[in-house]
């Protein structure tokens, strides 16, 4: 029987603290005080209710908050996650979901989200909802969301976090990956977490 991810991460945190990591160290930041995922419901691209607490039934769910009109980081992160998923074997891949939560619901309706995510991986889950509800989901996960400056094109930027959050089967975020984590690093971490 495999140990829960929370137990693996707790052990990993102790080992990293005790011996300063090493070649097999997890790239992601293991949180000593995990974020508790709220059970607030959003809506997936199929129109169904979806809660990051109640509907994430895989051993690990990788979550990123962003938006389809994002000029830079969102596309990079989603491409990296798509590449990371191709590096996993079938057994690992079946235990992982990737969820993209829009921070710009005014422009990211279900169709826009689905079209955007299908360019990376058609199995990726897209979530939208009223902006205040999305903010309520992000707040306990340390994801700040706010509309930024208007652009010369007439559009606008949306300020949002850049971390990828790892939700375990206990509905807690015990690990986060920062901007710049490579596909190889994601795949290695995911395999390590699922294999112990």
Binding-site residues sit at: 70, 74, 160
Do the beta carbons of residue 138 and residue 101 sit within 8 Å? Answer: yes
What's the CA gap between 106 and 129, in Å, rounded? 9
* Annotation: binding site for Cu cation: 70, 74, 160
Distances (CA, A) of 167 to 17, 19, 22: 22, 26, 24
Nearest to 31 by CA among 129, 193, 133, 177: 177
Give the closest residue to 181 by CA, choosing from 57, 109, 76. Answer: 76
């Amino acid at each position: 029987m495999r140990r829960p991810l929370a137990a693996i991460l707790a052990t990993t945190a102790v080992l990293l603290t005790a011996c300063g990591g090493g070649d097999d160290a997890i790239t992601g930041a293991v949180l000593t005080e995990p974020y508790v995922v709220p059970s607030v419901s959003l809506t997936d691209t199929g129109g169904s209710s979806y809660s990051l607490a109640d509907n994430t039934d895989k051993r690990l769910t990788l979550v990123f908050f962003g938006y389809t009109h994002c000029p830079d980081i969102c596309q990079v992160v989603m491409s990296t996650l798509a590449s990371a998923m191709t590096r996993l074997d079938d057994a690992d891949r079946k235990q992982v979901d990737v969820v993209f939560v829009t921070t710009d619901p005014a422009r990211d309706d279900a169709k826009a989200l689905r079209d955007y995510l299908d360019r990376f991986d058609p199995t990726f889950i897209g979530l939208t909802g009223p902006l205040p509800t999305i903010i309520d989901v992000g707040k306990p996960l340390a994801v700040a969301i706010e509309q930024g400056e208007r652009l010369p094109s007439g559009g606008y930027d949306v300020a949002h976090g850049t971390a990828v959050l790892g939700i375990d089967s206990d509905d807690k975020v015990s690990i986060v990956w920062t901007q710049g984590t490579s596909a190889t690093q994601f795949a290695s971490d995911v395999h390590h977490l699922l294999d112990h």
